[in-house]
């Protein structure tokens, strides 16, 4: 049974939206159940969100201010969500869970560094070492190359001529379920616009549709564009929502150390009722 009256926070990270729950003192309880998550995240009959995020006590000895647990709108658990990490950093600061300008966050993908800058939150993801510049998948008209990177979660990146014309769901769904990728992958499409900037669209695993933004997808895309020699170490990507995610890359042992910054907007605070 849903805990009627429990407080939640609706947040948006560049259009990637979440139901955030402070579980530092009270465990998630039934809110962590797959059926309940689906009902809460339903657009027409629930709060509506791409996923639900719990701020929980960190493991002893982790050195983290809190643990972030992320579940997709279908109830499946994901190791990491970049935009949820940004939103959790903002909320943890607002609630006093994180009391300093720089702190650590525990996730299923490991410990992340986080900081609150004058422009908003920034998180340091774990080093990305599993990067494949080419894949044996067939390209279709309008696609230039396809690569793969694990930025906390697996991502396919497809460099296209014009991301505005890509049928993201129709093309993304079969790639997301590609049999040679264990567990499947998120699928990102990226292209330059007329002004020379970069635009990205994402088919997200667990949501099973296009989302307005994807933080880890932007990180994976920036890395593959960097390895292709198309960008430098700082990449700004305009998302489907029109908001921009920025990725900073530093060369690390055997891979890349990425930092992600972007919007983390507190839309409203509410209480669960009849869902």
Calpha distance 49→62 (Å, rounded): 29
Contacts (Cβ under 8 Å, ≥6 apart) of 241 = 14, 15, 16, 212, 213
Give yes or no: 214 in active site. Answer: yes
Cα dihedral 181, 150, 97, 59, rounded to 10, equals 70
Tokens representing residue 133 in the block: 């510049």
Calpha distance 25→232 (Å, rounded): 43
Calpha distance 11→51 (Å, rounded): 11
| Residue pair 86/263 in contact by the 8 Å Cβ criterion | yes
Helices 82-95 and 215-227, packing angle to 10 deg: 130
> Which residue of the set 36, 81, 105, 158 is catalytic?
81
List b or e across 18-34, with b for residues whose CB sees 16 or more CB atoms inside 10 angstroms. Answer: bbbbbbbeeebeebbee
> Which residue of the set 214, 237, 238, 260 is catalytic?
214
Give yes or no: 81 in active site. Answer: yes
Task: Give catalytic residues, as residue numbers.
Answer: 81, 214
């Amino acid at each position: 049974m849903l805990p009627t009256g429990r407080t939640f926070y609706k947040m948006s990270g560049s259009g990637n939206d979440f139901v955030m729950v402070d579980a530092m003192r009270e465990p998630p309880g039934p809110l962590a159940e797959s059926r309940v998550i689906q009902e809460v995240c339903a657009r027409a009959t629930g709060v509506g969100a791409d996923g639900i995020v719990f701020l929980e006590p960190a493991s002893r000895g982790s050195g983290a201010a809190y643990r972030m647990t992320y579940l997709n709108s279908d109830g499946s658990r994901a190791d990491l969500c970049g935009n949820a990490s940004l939103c959790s950093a903002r909320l943890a600061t607002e609630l006093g869970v994180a009391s300093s300008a720089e702190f650590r966050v525990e996730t299923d993908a490991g410990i992340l560094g986080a900081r609150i800058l004058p422009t908003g939150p920034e998180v340091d993801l774990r080093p990305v070492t599993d990067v494949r510049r080419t894949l044996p998948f067939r390209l279709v008209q309008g696609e230039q190359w396809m690569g793969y990177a694990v930025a906390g979660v697996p991502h396919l990146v497809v460099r296209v001529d014009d991301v505005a014309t890509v049928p993201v769901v129709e093309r993304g769904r079969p790639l997301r379920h590609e049999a040679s990728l264990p567990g499947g992958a998120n699928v990102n499409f990226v292209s330059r616009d007329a002004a020379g900037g970069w635009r990205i669209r994402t088919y997200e695993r667990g949501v099973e549709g296009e989302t307005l933004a994807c933080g880890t997808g932007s990180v994976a895309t920036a890395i593959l564009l960097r390895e292709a020699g198309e960008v430098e170490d700082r990449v700004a990507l305009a998302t489907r929502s029109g908001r921009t995610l920025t990725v900073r890359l530093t060369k690390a042992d055997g891979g890349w150390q990425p930092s992600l910054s972007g919007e983390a907007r507190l839309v409203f605070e509410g209480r669960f009722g009849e869902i």
